[in-house]
Amino acid sequence: MLELLAQRNPTLVGGHGRLLVPDIALDLDQLQPYVGLSRDSILAITGITVPSPGLVAIENLTVFEACCRAEVRDLGGAVYVWTAGYPGRGVRAIVSRVGALVDMPQAKSRFALAVPAPEPREAL
């Protein structure tokens, strides 16, 4: 029972790019602001298209959501993965899949473990 609870959380992925799994192309631009994937789904990825800003791993859920909603200008246009404070099996799997399968138009990658907080906005 503990095995089911330990590491079976979905991995949240958002931003831009495309994930290819058998018979399906997941276009992150169409799944805004983000989508949750099981580790099994991540391991089934057969191809990944990552925009030139690269893959950004983010610890904080608030910052992750702000990046996915294009509220953090310095990290715009990337693929974002939420680590939930620790790069668990799902996060490690997607990072290794990107490393093995990445198709980056300009062959640039940027990995970040911490990102700046979004700029404050006025309450509406």
Query: For residue range 65-105, what is the model confidence (pLDDT) as tens digits?
Result: 999 999 998 888 999 999 988 888 888 888 888 777 665 55
What is the pLDDT at residue 114?
A: 42
Query: Is residue 56 within 8 Å of 111, Cβ to Cβ?
Result: yes
Q: Give the whole-angstrom CA distance, residue 17 versus residue 80.
A: 10
Residues 25 and 2: their CA atoms lie apart, in Å, by 33
What's the residue count for the chain? Answer: 124
What pLDDT does 9 receive?
Answer: 80
- CATH architecture of residue range(s) 7-103: 3-Layer(aba) Sandwich (3.40)
Mean pLDDT of the chain: 79
CB 87 within 8 A of CB 53: no
Checking DSSP bridges between strand 102-103 and strand 34-37, what pairing results, if any? unpaired
Res. 15 pLDDT band, cuts 50 70 90? very high
The yes-or-no verdict on residue 16 having pLDDT over 80 is yes
pLDDT of 63: 94
What is the pLDDT at residue 97? 81
CA 108 from centre of chain: 16
Residue 16 and residue 31: Cα distance in Å, rounded? Answer: 9
What average pLDDT does the segment 6-29 reach?
88
d(CA 26, CA 15): 12
How much is the pLDDT for 53? 83
pLDDT above 60 (res 55): yes
| pLDDT above 90 as % of the chain | 38
Confidence band of 29 (pLDDT split at 50, 70, 90): very high
Cα–Cα distance for residue pair 42/114, rounded to 1 Å: 22
